[in-house]
Chain A
Amino acid sequence: ETGVTQTPRHLVMGMTNKKSLKCEQHLGHNAMYWYKQSAKKPLELMFVYNFKEQTENNSVPSRFSPECPNSSHLFLHLHTLQPEDSALYLCASSQEQGSGSSEAFFGQGTRLTVV
């Protein structure tokens, strides 16, 4: 079992649908992250949770809503998305935010297509 697991791996949804992405980490980490990865663009940090508290929200539209019920689980709730939201959504975890050498461990991502 990998350290960070994301489900589903692939998702196709209509613009009026509501869906959720799930992330689970088995590494005992205290920080979890949502990133958006679009082709040939840098990873975009969306949300950060440190010890279950949201510490970053990088101007993400409200159609994306994160939830962190405990330090092992992270969700991204999606509703009324736009076609330009189609991308790879990556979850990551690290020991804690604010630790310089703390590497991030990534899940394999959810490939989202909005039609």
Chain B
Amino acid sequence: GQNIDQPTEMTATEGAIVQINCTYQTSGFNGLFWYQQHAGEAPTFLSYNVLDGLEEKGRFSSFLSRSKGYSYLLLKELQMKDSASYLCATMDSNYQLIWGAGTKLIIKP
């Protein structure tokens, strides 16, 4: 079967670093996406990884290990506005997105 696992909720402190993990089992693999979704708003694209390694984009970085079926999203210098849900999704062999349930990140002052 196809499955995406990520923690339900995480808490971190403003200015700190947090790593949100995602493990997956899918039929085929055509890349992994991370999206951010603030409460009551649309999910917005953060990153796409299809090859192993780390992709850095400002304060956010995303890592992928295809052999381990594992990814993480790293957020540095946390700001209060980073409080949101972070959705992990993989694209299977049919180019269909398989979504995790999302990780709610709470930032405390």
List the A side residues contacting B98 at CB < 8 Å: 42
Residues in A whose Cβ lies below 8 Å from that of B45: 103-105
Q: Which residue of A lies closest to B8 (CB)?
A: A40
Per DSSP, are chain B's interface residues mostly helix, strand or loop, or mixed? loop
Interface string of B90-109 (1 = CB under 8 A from A): 01000111111110000000
Interchain CA distance A99-B96 in the complex, whole Å: 10
Q: Are B48 and A41 in contact (CB under 8 A)?
A: no
Q: How many residues of B contact A (CB 8 A)?
A: 24
How far does the Cβ of B93 sit from chain A's closest Cβ, in whole Å? 11
Residues A42 and B8 in contact, CB atoms below 8 Å apart:
no
Give the interface SS of chain A, mostly helix, strand, loop or mixed.
loop
Q: A45: which of B4, B31, B97 is its contact (CB, 8 Å)?
A: B97
Q: Known interface pairs A42-B4, A103-B48. Does A4 touch B42 (Cβ–Cβ under 8 Å)?
A: yes
Docked complex Cα distance between A105 and B100 (Å):
17
21 intermolecular pairs with C-beta atoms under 8 Å apart? A40-B8, A40-B101, A40-B102, A42-B98, A42-B101, A43-B87, A43-B89, A45-B97, A56-B96, A90-B43, A98-B95, A100-B30, A100-B50, A103-B45, A104-B45, A106-B42, A106-B43, A107-B42, A108-B40, A108-B41, A109-B42
A interface vs B, CB < 8 Å?
Answer: 2, 4, 40-43, 45, 56, 90, 97-101, 103-109
Residues of B within 8 A of A (CB): 4, 8, 30-31, 33, 40-45, 48, 50, 87, 89, 91, 95-102
